[in-house]
Amino acid sequence: MPDQLFGAMRQSIIDGAPDTATELAQQALANGVDPLEAVNQGFAAGITFAGDQFGCGQMFLPDLLASAEAMKAAMNVLEPEMLKHGSQREALGKVVLGTAKGDIHDIGKNLVATILSASGFQIFDLGTSVTPEQFVAKAKEVDADIVGVSALLTTTMAGQKAVIEALDRDGLRPRIKAIIGGAAVTSKWAAEIGADGYSRNAIDAVELAKNLMGKVTNKGTVPA
Ligand code: B1M
């Protein structure tokens, strides 16, 4: 039964069908399926497939947009449930999060925000296309422990570097840790730009953030 459901979820994203995706997400919750598993095994598999099709010219931008709409519809059902499932309520630290300047991809960043929040971190989500100055200003305003920058495009990865440079210029590191992630990003890139950590997915981001909170002057890249 879950396999069939996951297959239908994947297909609803490929088809760009938000109503179906919403219904399947609701059905998963009603059947006791872990919402994160529904994302990873069902919906995210669909958006990854759509992205690959787009990448090799088999799908066009309007179709990819429709797939993204369907993905968002599913996430709207699942994310509140993930927050409810968060067992830890103690504030583990403050995280300022956003997508790098010029980048409007936010599905993965939102998932990272949800899982971190469900794990006990206080999240200040600046949204998409965030400038280094906005990251720095928010980090100062809320006295952040961690600044996290997501980037999905090879062209916007430079924005991650710019945020780290801006934090350094203001003398905010090493007290504030800078972490990065996103489909285009690798641990090699993280090391190259001197990030305090990189994670491949939302679950690893929690471990990474917890690790960094336990260290006072960590400057090395924590591998995913
Ligand atoms: Co875009 N897009 N897109 N897109 N899109 C990619 C990234 C691409 C790889 C597709 C492809 O060609 N195969 C490609 C980038 C190529 C490159 O640069 N290497 C691409 C392109 C080219 C573009 C446009 C330029 C297309 C165009 O206009 N011609 C354009 C750019 C717009 C812009 O940003 N300025 C564009 C637009 C769009 C849509 C609007 C249609 C839509 C975004 C909708 C939205 O986010 N609101 C979209 C989508 C959906 C994708 C793909 C298909 C899926 C991304 C996604 O949501 N994945 C993507 C292909 C792919 O990644 N395979 C693609 C699901 C999500 C759960 O995973 O985001 O990877 P992900 O997040 C993961 C991890 O990466 C990690 O944890 C998350 C959860 O596990 N993570 C972090 C993410 N951030 C993190 C931060 C952390 C830690 C971990 O710490 C801070």
Residues 100 and 79 grouped into a single domain: no
How far does the centroid of ligand 1 lie from the alpha carbon of residue 217, in Å? Answer: 32
What was the pLDDT predicted at 2?
77
- Among 66, 87, 108, residue at a domain's last position: 87
Q: Which of 95, 110, 147, 152 to mutate for ligand 1's pocket (most ligand atoms within 8 Å of CB)?
A: 152
d(C-alpha 96, C-alpha 33), whole Å: 30
Residues 117 and 214 grouped into a single domain: yes
Share of the chain above pLDDT 90, in %: 83
Cβ contact 10:70 at 8 Å: no
Cβ contact 22:57 at 8 Å: no
d(C-alpha 52, C-alpha 59), whole Å: 9
Domains contained in the chain, number = 2
pLDDT in tens, 36-90: 999 989 999 999 999 999 999 999 999 999 999 999 999 999 999 988 866 555 5
Which residues are 150's β-sheet partners? 99, 181
- The answer, yes or no, to whether any atom of ligand 1 lies below 6 A from the CB of 111, is yes
90 vs 122, residue with greater confidence = 122
Q: Is 177 helix (H, G, I), strand (E, B) or coil?
A: strand
Residues 58 and 165 grouped into a single domain: no
Q: Which residue has the tokens 């062209």?
A: 155
What was the pLDDT predicted at 85?
64
What was the pLDDT predicted at 3?
86
Q: Is the predicted pLDDT of residue 223 greater than 50, yes or no?
A: no
What was the pLDDT predicted at 141?
97
For 170, other C-beta atoms within 10 Å of its C-beta total 15
Share of the chain above pLDDT 70, in %: 92
What was the pLDDT predicted at 90?
57
- The answer, yes or no, to whether any atom of ligand 1 lies below 6 A from the CB of 146, is no
Distance of alpha carbon 66 from the chain centroid: 20
User: Residue 45 falls within a domain, yes or no?
Assistant: yes
Cis peptide before 174 (omega within 30 of 0): yes
Cβ contact 134:98 at 8 Å: yes
What was the pLDDT predicted at 221?
44
Note the pTM of the prediction, 2 decimals.
0.91
- Structure tokens of 108? 């993965």
User: Residue 224 falls within a domain, yes or no?
Assistant: no
User: Residue 73 falls within a domain, yes or no?
Assistant: yes
Residues 9 and 50 grouped into a single domain: yes
Residues 137 and 46 grouped into a single domain: no
pLDDT in tens, 13-35: 999 999 999 999 999 999 999 99
Residues 136 and 176 grouped into a single domain: yes
pLDDT in tens, 97-115: 999 999 999 999 999 999 9
- Structure tokens of 120? 């006990």
List the CATH number of the domain containing 23.
Answer: 1.10.1240.10
Cβ contact 15:46 at 8 Å: no
- The answer, yes or no, to whether any atom of ligand 1 lies below 6 A from the CB of 47, is yes
- Among 52, 67, 87, residue at a domain's last position: 87
d(C-alpha 119, C-alpha 219), whole Å: 23
Strand-strand pairing, 93-99 and 197-198: unpaired
- Among 33, 59, 87, residue at a domain's last position: 87
* Residue range of the domain that includes 34: 2-87
